[in-house]
Amino acid sequence: MSSPLHLDSLQLAYDTPRGPHTVVDGFSLDLAAGEIACLFGPSGCGKTTVLRAIAGFEPVRAGTIRLGDALLSSPQKHLPPEQRRVGMMFQEYALFPHLSAAKNVAFGLRRLGRAAQQTRVAEMLALVGLAEAGERYPHELSGGQQQRIALARALAPSPALLLLDEPFSNLDGGTRERLTAEVRGILKKAGQTAILVTHNDAEAHAMADRIGVMHGGRVTHWLETAA
Ligand SMILES: Nc1ncnc2c1ncn2[C@@H]1O[C@H](COP(=O)(O)OP(=O)(O)OP(=O)(O)O)[C@@H](O)[C@H]1O
């Protein structure tokens, strides 16, 4: 299998009035095509910062981020987020409330013609099991259905990599558990390479192929899951 994602010796820091505050240091990760990895660790260990750097929202101070043949980030180079082929399902990227489910899914497909957009939206709605829900608005959908539409929206432009940051944390326990298993099935069916960040141990095990346990801004060890 090819290895689409290579993070090599990343250092990430935030500027503060007292100077740069290094949050991630010496972080390396290789992800194979179709693999789902999870970053797991205590609050503040740098999980979200790593995802933000991959997505292109944080510069790297040292090291490189490569996706396939493309260099996304290095201290000298910063490809803009919209050119990275990285999809996101972040808590703060909720659905657009004034757009129907179908229009939400079509959001990242503006470069396609109308007919191609419609075909892709229908495919994505079917993939997440909501083929009949295209005309509904977010407030007419349950929390779990909304997250499935958010997943369809993230997958529609065929990202080379999908980032999921606490995607189920707003859902109640039962829905969360069911959706975790469903989403893993959807990602595997699509052959999607993905990185998940979660605080929830059961969720990490149910969703990921392997879990990177983070401490002090780097992965200290990897656990293979039975998923
Ligand atoms: N914009 C910022 N400016 C300065 N420091 C920041 C900023 N964002 C995050 N940090 C700090 O960086 C560290 C890592 O934050 P990050 O959000 O990556 O952690 P996390 O592991 O995702 O935590 P959580 O599990 O609580 O979401 C924390 O110490 C945090 O306080």
Neighbours of 155 (CB within 10 A): 24
Q: For the segment 90-105, what is each residue's pLDDT rounded down to a tens digit? A: 776 689 999 999 999 9
Average pLDDT over residues 9-32: 94
Q: For the segment 45-95, what is each residue's pLDDT rounded down to a tens digit? A: 999 999 999 999 999 999 999 999 999 999 999 999 989 999 998 776 689
Q: For the segment 140-190, what is each residue's pLDDT rounded down to a tens digit? A: 998 889 989 999 999 999 999 999 998 888 777 788 888 888 889 989 988
ipTM over 0.85: yes
Which of 12, 15, 21 gets mutated to test ligand 1 (max ligand atoms within 8 A of its CB)?
Answer: 21
Residue 3 has pLDDT above 80, yes or no: no
Q: How much distance in Å is there from the Cα of 14 to the middle of ligand 1?
A: 9
Q: Between the CA of residue 157 and those of 83, 98, 121, 124, 169, what are the distances in Å?
A: 12, 21, 10, 10, 25
Q: How much distance in Å is there from the Cα of 34 to the middle of ligand 1?
A: 28
Nearest CA to ligand 1 atom 17: 48
Nearest CA to ligand 1 atom 16: 46
Q: How much distance in Å is there from the Cα of 45 to the middle of ligand 1?
A: 7
The string of DSSP codes covering 70-131 is EEEEETTEE--GGGS-EEEEETT-PPPTTS-HHHHHHGGGTTS-HHHHHHHHHHHHHHTT-T
User: How far is the C-alpha of 130 from the C-alpha of 141, rounded, in Å?
Assistant: 10
Q: Which atom of ligand 1 is nearest to the CA of 41?
A: 21
